[in-house]
Amino acid sequence: MSKESLIASLRTVPDYPRKGILFWDVTTLFKNAEAFKEVEDILYEEFKDKGITKVAGIESRGFVMGAALASRLGAGFVLIRKPGKLPADTVRMDYELEYGHDTIEMHTDAISPDDVVLVHDDLLATGGTAGAAVKLVQSFHPKQVYASFIIYLKDFGSVAKFPPDVPVTTVLDLAGA
């Protein structure tokens, strides 16, 4: 399946979640078995030799491919969620967004210093949530942190905002802000 076919499997929703935003919806890619498998294969090939021990998925669309990838890599899966959604002790990270602020949490026992962690989400735009998730994971001092995204909206330039020791992999680099 070509990158063009993967892009064609996406849906765009104008003015969601608010006016002026063009929302790139990966749920249409997820429901297409061939497209889903292709993205999983691309990410697996990228990370199969990196020693990944945990995949940390960002709520909520990051859970879908993140969990599938963790299983395929033989790694554990860690949830990064909005406040109050995890049942045990958590550590939190507050961060600024272009339209306000938000918080994410992870269980305090989710990651150890021996782990190699892949932080995964569906889309990277401004990098606020993903950057906070990487910082949250780094606070556990794992051996290495990687980041991956299905869609990268390259007009925002947010890949350059990640620390140089956190390699970022994107499947579909798209124009559009």
Q: What's the CA gap between 99 and 36, in Å, rounded? A: 31
* pTM score: 0.96
Nearest residue to 111 via CA among 83, 84, 135, 129: 135
Average pLDDT of span 76-95? 97
Task: Provide CATH code, domain 50-174.
Answer: 3.40.50.2020
Average pLDDT of span 48-77? 98
Q: Which residue has the tokens 């399946």?
A: 1
Q: What's the CA gap between 153 and 123, in Å, rounded? A: 8
Q: What's the CA gap between 111 and 127, in Å, rounded? A: 22
Model confidence at 69, in pLDDT bands (50, 70, 90)? very high
Nearest residue to 16 via CA among 25, 7, 26: 25
Instruction: Give tens-digit pLDDT for 13-62.
Output: 999 988 988 899 999 999 999 999 999 999 999 999 999 999 999 999 99
CB 44 within 8 A of CB 69: yes
Amino acid at 47: F
pLDDT at 98 exceeding the cut of 90: no
As a whole number, the mean pLDDT across the chain is: 95
pLDDT at 177 exceeding the cut of 70: no
The residues spanned by each domain of the chain are 50-174
Question: Between 61-73 and 33-47, two packed helices, what is the crossing angle to 10 degrees?
Answer: 60
Active site residues: 61, 98
